[in-house]
């Protein structure tokens, strides 16, 4: 063991270390707040100048993270910067950058690679680099390891490399950064030791695994498990609908079994930064080993088809009322990917909006968490959230419930919508103007 290893561990245990968080989004920002709250000096690094300026002014850009928490962190030593040369000030560098898919549904590693290249010139002995971005098994070894060692530092002796997948669930009041167990894999035993010392200060339970690859696959398994089960219940929804059965009633009944069943509920498709994307990371990597992950890919196909299923139900409902979708005014309720948050990443609601528009419908939306449609890499709407009044609801030919925010007045919606397409099972009792989707 290198004599530098105990020094690194000691700095984290004494909380004298400087924590550098690269990528100040839905993952990086809560992590920053946690380390700041327990007395560490935290430096945030992001390429987005607007984000950095907001944070340094004590303002938040994520709805469920209050401005006063950012201001308190700033007043107690947190600072954000776009200057990557300041990497050298940090004892830990935690990378929380996006890992999306490209247009071919293959991993886009550009954010991870570009970030690693950006910090590379400023790395020094004694630091630990931790990747938290969800990715395929082998990323840490194949992409980070050679770059980190390029300047002559030896991983495991001079500098330490770990993979520890994020497990944030934005807007979930039952869990916070501190209470969600943290899986960690190190490139070497020394790396793992330093990684544990880094995270055990901030997280109640640390779960070491044997390698970075094992940690990378752990994250994929968690999310693929969810994606596959949602795919199953979405397929069951279609079958139940043809049979005239309410799938939500069936899931609720099955959930009374105290063993051997976990309730998953259908919806309009998958959203967020993990569930729609992560399965494709594994299927892509598995091809390198000559394997075809048919089960995982099938669930992806089922889930991907759900927005079209919802729009098909909308068209059926309009046809029954002697209207075509073309020229109809349609209000989509909820455009974030899950209830009670402002997170738009991979939201199936947006795909529903695009499908409606592509078929000639005039689309609008209402979302109390998203007052103005944000700039997105792949989706463009010049829209603002519509007020939910009786008069406004009645002015639309159809209303599609895509994301079931608690702030919606569901009685008002049902009473005044001409046609209501419910993709979330909010309306269990039969209603003349409600179609389940």
Two structure tokens written together for 13: 């245990």
Q: Which of helix, strand or coil describes residue 299?
A: helix
Two structure tokens written together for 433: 């103007």
Q: In 3D, which of 313, 300, 314, 317 has the Cα closest to residue 235? A: 300
Q: Tell me, yes or no, if 274 is annotated catalytic.
A: yes
CA distance 1 to 194: 12
Contact 436, 361 (CB under 8 A): no
Looking at 67, 96, 274, 322, which residue is catalytic?
Answer: 274
Q: Which of helix, strand or coil describes residue 92?
A: strand
Tokens 């049979």 correspond to: 243
Buried b or exposed e, range 340-358, using 16+ CB within 10 angstroms: bbbbbbbbbbbbbbbbbee
**Residues, the chain:** 437
CA distance 227 to 385: 30
Per the DSSP assignment, residues forming a β-bridge with 43 are: 20, 79
Instruction: Enter the DSSP assignment of 141.
Output: I
Q: Which of helix, strand or coil describes residue 322?
A: coil
CA distance 75 to 55: 11
State the catalytic residues. Answer: 274
């Amino acid at each position: 063991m290198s004599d530098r290893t105990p020094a690194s561990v000691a700095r984290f245990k004494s909380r004298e270390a400087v924590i550098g968080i690269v990528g100040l989004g839905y993952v990086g920002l809560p992590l920053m707040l946690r380390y700041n709250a327990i007395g560490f000096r935290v430096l945030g690094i992001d390429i987005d100048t607007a984000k950095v300026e907001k944070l340094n002014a004590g303002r938040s850009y994520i709805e469920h993270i209050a401005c006063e928490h950012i201001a308190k962190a700033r007043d107690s030593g947190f600072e954000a910067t776009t200057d990557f040369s300041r990497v050298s000030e940090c004892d830990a560098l935690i990378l929380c950058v996006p890992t999306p898919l490209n247009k071919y549904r293959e991993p886009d590693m550009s954010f991870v690679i570009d970030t690693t290249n950006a910090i590379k010139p400023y790395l020094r002995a004694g630091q630990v680099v931790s990747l938290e971005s969800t990715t395929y098994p082998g990323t840490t070894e194949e992409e980070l390891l050679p770059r980190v060692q390029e300047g002559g530092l030896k991983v495991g002796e001079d500098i330490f490399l770990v993979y520890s997948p994020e497990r944030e669930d934005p807007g979930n009041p039952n869990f916070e950064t501190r209470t969600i167990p943290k899986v960690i894999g190190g490139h070497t035993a020394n790396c793992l030791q330093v990684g544990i010392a880094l995270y055990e200060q901030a997280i109640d339970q640390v779960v070491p695994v044997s390698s970075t690859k094992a940690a990378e696959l752990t994250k994929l398994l968690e999310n693929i498990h969810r994606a596959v089960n949602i795919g199953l219940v979405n397929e069951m929804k279609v079958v139940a609908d043809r049979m005239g059965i309410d799938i939500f009633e069936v899931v609720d009944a099955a959930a009374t079994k105290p063993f051997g069943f976990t309730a998953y509920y259908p919806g309009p498709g998958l959203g967020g930064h993990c569930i729609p994307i992560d399965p494709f990371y594994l299927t892509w990597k598995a091809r390198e080993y000559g394997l075809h992950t048919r089960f995982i890919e099938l669930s992806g196909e089922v889930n991907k088809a759900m927005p079209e299923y919802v729009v098909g139900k909308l068209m059926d409902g309009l046809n029954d009322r002697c209207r075509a979708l073309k020229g109809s005014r349609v209000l989509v309720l909820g455009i974030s990917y899950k209830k009670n948050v402002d997170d738009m990443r991979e939201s199936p609601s947006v795909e529903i909006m695009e499908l409606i528009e592509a078929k000639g419908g005039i689309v609008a939306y209402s979302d109390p968490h998203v007052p103005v449609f944000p700039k997105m890499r792949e989706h463009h709407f010049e829209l603002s959230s519509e007020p939910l009044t009786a008069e406004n609801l009645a002015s639309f030919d159809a209303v599609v419930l895509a994301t079931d925010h608690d702030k919606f007045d569901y009685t008002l919606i049902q009473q005044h919508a001409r046609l209501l397409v419910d993709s979330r099972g909010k309306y269990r009792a039969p209603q003349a103007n409600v179609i389940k989707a």
